[in-house]
Structure 1
Amino acid sequence: MHDLVHDLAISIAKGECSVVTKTSTPAAGVCHLSILESGQEVTTQLERMSKVQTIIFKTEQPMSILKACISRFKYLRVLDLSNSSFEVLPNSIGSLKHLRFLDLTGNRKIKQLPDSICKLYSLQTLLLDSCSNLERLPKGIRDIIRLRFLILTTKHTCLSEKAVGCLDSLRFLMIGRCKNLKCLFEGMEGRLTCLRTLVVAECPRLTSLSLSIKHLTALETLEIMNCEELSLTEMEGEDNQDLKLSLQKLIIIGLPKLEVLPQWLQGSANTLQQLWIVECENLKALPEWLPHLKSLHTLRIVECPNLSSLPEGMEALTALRLLGIGICPDLSRKCREEDWHKIAHVPVIYL
């Protein structure tokens, strides 16, 4: 922003927001803190405050400062400990009854969370991305009844109903960078019914999404990326004929074992708006029912070299506004020539 606007923002916010260094003098009534330095001088400044609701650790901090913050600021709403190097969290963290947002992203040394974290009944967002040594989630995690947003990296080989499926209030779930994970959602029949966004990324050993798609009636966005052993066939239910799903966006990237698009996608024939298929080298054909996706307005197909044609009836996709095809030599050539009539109605085409 412009320097004048920046100075105005600083001036307005200084009564509520402050950056804490060894030489700073934040007002006693400050509510939101970014802590840039550590040491006794910083601890002394924290002792003069009582109304703090947000704490962001911008540099490495000792356990003593974290414990001091927890014991003094009982009305904390936001605690950002991202990129720290804590091996454990203090049990006293469970006393923060008003905490809504806890960020532990990039804590690569932490192995487990204290059971007391399950007492954070107001917690809505928990970020555990890139916690690559996290061995397990606490057994009582189901008690965090308001949890809406969860990002998780773990050393687990299997995430079952007891790990995340018990979180019935989840709206957003991302499972990423799990090098050991082989199966996901085992025993979760009928769970996660409020989930709106699901992202599964960079799980190279994952072979199974044991997920009954028919229960995910609220799911709007599904992204599956860079899972080299995943084919999606295990997500097929016994009966896909009468599925009623709400999926609006499906992104599939880096699934070399994907050979066909899953049949359950037809359950979103009236709602799916965006479909991305990228780096699926063994996808040999698009399904004949693809033109049934009446709401589809964006279709991107990139690096799927075995695709050679679009299905018949593409003219029925009257809502399609953007078609992008890249690094698919045979498909691009055919679309320029004999299949041009299938896509001529699309306003924006990239080949």
Structure 2
Amino acid sequence: MLLLIWNEKPSLSDSPSDLLMHFHYNVNLLVFITTAAYFGVIRGLYKFYDQYYTTKAPMVDGNQVISFDRSFLVQDGNILEADDHVLESRNKLSDLEKLFGDENFRRCFGLLVYLFPIDYEFGKKDIIQLWMAEGFIQPSVETNELLEDAASVYFDVSSAASIFQSSRSDGNSRPRYRLNHSLLDQLFKLPSDLYCKIESGKPVSLSENTLHTSLICDSSDPVAFEALYQSKRLCTLLLVHEQRYSSINQVPYNLFFKLPLLRALDLSGMNITELPSSVGNLKHLRLLNLSKTLVKRLPESLCSLYLMQTMILRDCSKLVGLPKGMRKLVNLRHLDLDIASLLISMPPGIGDLTELQTLSAFIVGKDDGCHITELKHIANLRGNFGIRMLENISNSGEAKEAALDRKKYLERLELQWTELQGGVDEVQVLQHLQPHENLKELQIVSYGGTKFPGWIGNPVFSKLATITLHNCSKCEVLPSLGKLPLLKRLQISEMHAVKTIDTRFCGRDMVTPLLDLVLRTFGRHTNLCKGFPSLNNLRISGMPTLEKWSGMEEGNFSLLRKLSLSHFAKLTALPELSVLKALQELEISLCPVLQFLPKKSLPISLQSLLIISCPLLKERCHKEGHDWKKIAHIPSIWLDNQQIL
């Protein structure tokens, strides 16, 4: 989207027609904003669009807005059907209308403009959850649109219009954004008496009309909380810190009696060890943020807040449990905490929270209300999700009832056992834990079966890009993963029972004899039957019984750039690596009986070779060694931390 703003009469030297032609095919939306006085002039400068012109443009704070999408003009939200591109752009233009005219949209940005420091960095998810809590998001009833999706439209359209500007990524690679205040100032104004930002050393402008307040604090200020009591209609209370943590170590018990209409409460970063039980008085509360606090337990009174949508408990390192009555929070959509690190069991009846979308993990228990079957009706789980202590599943039917294959919004799934079980067929358990084909990342830890079910390498998982298999110590054969079309990163470790790697690893067993004959007959075998077409990073380690690796055929691993092999106690020879035409980095370590490199030279694409604790191989790779000719072309060679080239 390109915004062109004129607050004074444009001159011919501006060459706006030339500018428009330059951007005609490089931006999806062109938005022209000008004052009413010069609207006719702007219209005349772009008269070649008049055939699509309607009679009245919308007003935005005294400005009239013309919105173009490639070769047509939209005003007042009316879309003229010029061509197929116009039809495809209906949704975006509808969002544009909301951007400039919707009152709820303005309220959304009022919170961000008036309550946060001008250079504050926001996360998209945090913004969306705050907007939802305030009731500013109205999803489409006709399409059963989720609140989060409707809020995401607000954010994405705003970002496209440069209202949000990317600043950096946090430690988890999540983008952070700053507001473009100069642009917001031109687009709209808001009644500031509804908002109050309380800052140390500055006068407080709270009144009975104040609905939204933030405390910009880094030190304890006992007056600040008391000053809030006069604003009995307060809906928002946010503690915002210039630094990571605040020294405020107590929340007044009466605070929640004085402010009963709170919908959003952010106490993150406070040095508090408990949350007063009086929080149960906040019957309208939708969002509670206690992240980065020292809270150990949450009061049971919290479970009476039936309208709660979002609980954020990130980095609460002292937290040891959740209230037993969590199942009562039937409107809870986001439970954001590191469950696997902090909890040893789930509160019973978590399956009653059918609206849940954010849940980092589920810990399988043996008690009633803690079985994996609790996941059955939680169909909208999104993003990253893990299931721990899978050894507590009593039979494979429970795994099937969890219905992971119907959770289509999951992107990353971790399946973890903590100890081996003798009485349950773990192969069948894992078979019934098959996820939806939309999955992008899969991690399996400490699986105790002797083989993997076939779904793991099924090419129907066309979005699966990363797989990690760790400590599956009883598996005797690697799964056939070569036919996964988008698999880019594969890490396999501690597979102690694998003795052979062959063509099955590349998915050769998935090609039937009849299909093989047909493909070879028509000369298409190379294109359709080679393994790992997208893999660029392969790490294999901890296979002490591996004795033979074969089946590396021409065309396999065609995009592999990095190969790391480690801890092969019995492997004496490597597969033929010359077929890895894109390989740039090769690391070989802790292979004590590995005698020599493959017969042919290593790939000419190779830029770096690292060999560590492979004494027999090391002797052959010195400049005087028998394998030197195979590696002499490599720019960087390291042998046991000594650089040769």
Fold equivalence (TM over 0.5): yes
Match of 2:551 among 309, 312, 329: 312
Paired residue for 2:442? 222
Distance 1:84 1:314, change over 3 A: farther
Alpha-carbon distance, 1:234 to partner: 5.9
Paired residue for 1:297? 536
Distance 1:241 1:101, change over 3 A: closer
Quote the Cα distance in structure 1 between the aligned partners of 2:431 and 2:376: 10
* Local SS of the residue matching 2:564: strand
Quote the Cα distance in structure 2 between the aligned partners of 1:203 and 1:286: 27
1:196 aligns with 2:196: no
Aligned AA for 1:303? G
Q: Is the 8 A contact 1:248 1:272 kept in 2?
A: yes
Alpha-carbon distance, 1:201 to partner: 3.6
Q: Is the 8 A contact 1:61 1:84 kept in 2?
A: yes
Alpha-carbon distance, 1:330 to partner: 4.0
Distance 1:329 1:343, change over 3 A: farther
1:132 aligns with 2:344: yes
Distance 1:110 1:23, change over 3 A: same
Paired residue for 2:392? 181
Distance 1:224 1:329, change over 3 A: same
Quote the Cα distance in structure 1 between the aligned partners of 2:377 and 2:540: 36
Q: Is the 8 A contact 1:220 1:247 kept in 2?
A: yes
Quote the Cα distance in structure 2 between the aligned partners of 1:205 and 1:329: 24
Distance 1:12 1:297, change over 3 A: closer
Gaps of at least 5 residues in structure 1 are 1-8
1:119 aligns with 2:334: no
* Local SS of the residue matching 1:90: helix
Alpha-carbon distance, 1:156 to partner: 3.6
Q: Is the 8 A contact 1:105 1:128 kept in 2?
A: no
Between structures 1 and 2, the one with greater helix share: 2
Paired residue for 2:563? 323
Quote the Cα distance in structure 2 between the aligned partners of 1:47 and 1:36: 23
Match of 2:453 among 218, 232, 235: 235
1:32 aligns with 2:272: no
Quote the Cα distance in structure 2 between the aligned partners of 1:325 and 1:98: 47
Distance 1:193 1:52, change over 3 A: closer
Alpha-carbon distance, 1:204 to partner: 1.9
TM-score using structure 2 length: 0.43
Alpha-carbon distance, 1:139 to partner: 4.2
Aligned AA for 1:114? M
Distance 1:332 1:274, change over 3 A: farther
Q: Is the 8 A contact 1:196 1:219 kept in 2?
A: yes
Residue by residue over 1:119-141, the C-alpha shift from the partner in whole angstroms, topping out at 9 and shown as x without a partner, is 32x43646433311435333412
Distance 1:12 1:293, change over 3 A: closer
1:254 aligns with 2:471: yes
Quote the Cα distance in structure 2 between the aligned partners of 1:299 and 1:60: 45
1:74 aligns with 2:285: yes
Q: Is the 8 A contact 1:151 1:173 kept in 2?
A: yes
Quote the Cα distance in structure 2 between the aligned partners of 1:195 and 1:288: 31
Select between 157-166 and 131-140 the one with higher mean Cα deviation.
157-166
Match of 2:495 among 274, 280, 283: 280
Alpha-carbon distance, 1:195 to partner: 1.9
Quote the Cα distance in structure 1 between the aligned partners of 2:502 and 2:215: 55
Q: Is the 8 A contact 1:106 1:131 kept in 2?
A: no
Q: Is the 8 A contact 1:21 1:42 kept in 2?
A: no
Q: Is the 8 A contact 2:376 2:402 kept in 1?
A: yes
Alpha-carbon distance, 1:300 to partner: 0.4
Gaps of at least 5 residues in structure 2 are 1-115, 121-196, 199-213, 229-235, 507-530, 576-594, 612-645
Quote the Cα distance in structure 1 between the aligned partners of 2:317 and 2:387: 13
* Structure possessing the higher relative contact order (Cα contacts under 8 Å, 6 or more residues apart): 1
Aligned AA for 1:298? N
**Number of residue pairs matched by the alignment:** 332
Distance 1:180 1:258, change over 3 A: closer
Distance 1:38 1:126, change over 3 A: closer
Alpha-carbon distance, 1:275 to partner: 0.8
* Local SS of the residue matching 2:330: helix
Aligned AA for 2:352? G
What's the C-alpha RMSD, in Å, of the aligned pairs?
4.2
Alpha-carbon distance, 1:337 to partner: 2.4
Quote the Cα distance in structure 1 between the aligned partners of 2:472 and 2:492: 9
* Local SS of the residue matching 2:353: helix
> Sequence identity of aligned pairs in percent?
12
Q: Is the 8 A contact 2:371 2:393 kept in 1?
A: no
Q: Is the 8 A contact 1:55 1:79 kept in 2?
A: yes
Q: Is the 8 A contact 1:222 1:249 kept in 2?
A: yes
Quote the Cα distance in structure 1 between the aligned partners of 2:338 and 2:604: 44
